[in-house]
Amino acid sequence: MRLLEESGIGITEETGNMISGFQAFLKGKCPQCRTGNLFVGSLFSKKFRAVHTNCPHCHVKFESEPGFFWGAMYFSYALVVATVIIVSVIIYSIQEEPPLMSTSIIVIGISLILTPLHLRLSRLLMVYIAAPYRKFKKELV
Ligand SMILES: [Zn+2]
**Ligand 1 midpoint to CA 12 (Å):** 12
CA distances from 102 to 3, 94, 98, 129 (A): 58, 14, 8, 37
Q: Would you list the domain boundaries of the chain?
A: 2-130
**Ligand 1 midpoint to CA 127 (Å):** 12
**Ligand 1 midpoint to CA 111 (Å):** 31
Give strand pairing partners of 51.
39
Per-residue pLDDT tens listing for the chain (141 residues): 344 444 445 554 455 567 888 888 999 999 888 889 999 988 888 888 899 988 999 888 888 788 888 989 999 999 999 999 999 999 999 998 899 999 999 999 999 999 999 999 999 999 988 776 666 554 544
**Ligand 1 midpoint to CA 86 (Å):** 34
Give strand pairing partners of 61.
54
For the chain, the residue count is 141
CA 28 – CA 36 distance, rounded (Å): 9
**Ligand 1 midpoint to CA 139 (Å):** 16
CA 11 – CA 26 distance, rounded (Å): 15
